[in-house]
């Protein structure tokens, strides 16, 4: 599997500064594309992997989560200018809408792509993938609810682009219970996470590209050695996140019980 970079927003709009590391500047984005070109990497999609037309040592997959509309004004044209391609993941409940999940957490509001925008990406050689229906943490959903969220998304996207959806990127990198069975039942070929101690073809790690990256960190993140490092790091990261979440949920549950008494 080639290294997989994860991005969200590419913008110089100061109004989006509240998105933090999930919004990279135009200059930083160009550094990424320049690094890819100067080091003779080739951008590929999961469709290329399925067809077998790629070389692991000199390939990279660029992924964009959420499909913010601003990507169409700079990020996508830059890809096309360089004959590059990427995979875009859309949470289908918000097509033509905005990033409601961010706004609910007091982050900046930004428009998302429409159905026509999605068709345009495919027509230009990009790939579209599922990002569930709503932008939620699927690991906290029942298996049936997670299945429905992914089924709905896949069905909507396939109707829009008249093409099979091969991959899913779980929102927040949150892998649902029994995800392998769910992904297989739905016909996904690959599933993408972010931090994940146990990797399978249905829960593949990605590395985050942000404004702090340099040529040195990009070289490291695209190396085999980095993949080995992630095995140890992801175990610690997931544990460090799960314990506070467990305590919060347990405490919230106790408060709810107390209020009912």
Least confident of 155-164, 180-189, 248-257: 248-257
Domain count of the chain?
1
Has residue 260 got a pLDDT over 70? no
Domain presence at residue 8: yes
Domain range for 38 is 4-222
Calculate mean pLDDT across residues 146-168: 98
**CATH number of the domain within which 72 lies:** 3.20.20.370
Lowest mean pLDDT, pick from 142-146, 155-159, 168-172, 239-243: 239-243
Q: Classify residue 192: in a domain, yes or no.
A: yes
Within a domain: 244: no
In a domain, 227, yes or no: no
- Please identify which residue in the block is written with the tokens 């769910």: 182
pLDDT of 61: 97
10 domain-assigned: yes
The answer to which of 104-108, 147-151, 229-233, 243-247 has the lowest mean pLDDT is 243-247
């Amino acid at each position: 599997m080639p290294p997989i970079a994860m991005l969200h927003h590419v913008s110089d709009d100061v109004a989006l500064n509240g998105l933090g590391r999930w919004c990279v500047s135009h200059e930083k984005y160009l550094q990424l594309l320049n690094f890819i070109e100067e080091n003779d990497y080739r951008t590929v999609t999961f469709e290329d992997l399925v067809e077998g037309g790629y070389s692991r040592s000199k390939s990279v997959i660029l992924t964009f989560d959420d499909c913010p509309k601003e990507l169409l004004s700079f990020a996508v044209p830059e890809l096309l200018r360089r004959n590059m391609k990427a995979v875009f993941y859309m949470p289908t409940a918000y097509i033509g809408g905005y990033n409601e999940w961010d706004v609910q957490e007091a982050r900046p509001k930004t428009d998302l792509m429409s159905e026509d925008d999605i068709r345009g990406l495919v027509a230009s050689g990009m790939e579209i993938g599922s990002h569930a229906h709503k932008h939620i943490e699927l690991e906290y959903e029942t298996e049936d609810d997670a299945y429905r969220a992914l089924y709905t998304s896949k069905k909507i996207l396939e109707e829009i682009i008249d093409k099979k959806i091969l991959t899913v990127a779980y929102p927040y990198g949150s892998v649902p219970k029994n995800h392998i069975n769910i992904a297989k039942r739905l016909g996904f070929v690959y599933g993408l996470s972010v931090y994940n101690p146990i990797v399978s073809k249905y829960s593949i790690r990605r590395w985050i590209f942000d404004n702090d990256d340099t040529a040195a960190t990009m070289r490291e993140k695209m190396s085999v050695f980095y993949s080995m490092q992630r095995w140890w790091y992801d175990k610690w990261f997931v544990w460090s996140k799960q314990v506070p979440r467990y305590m919060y949920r347990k405490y919230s549950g106790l408060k709810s019980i107390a209020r009912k008494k």
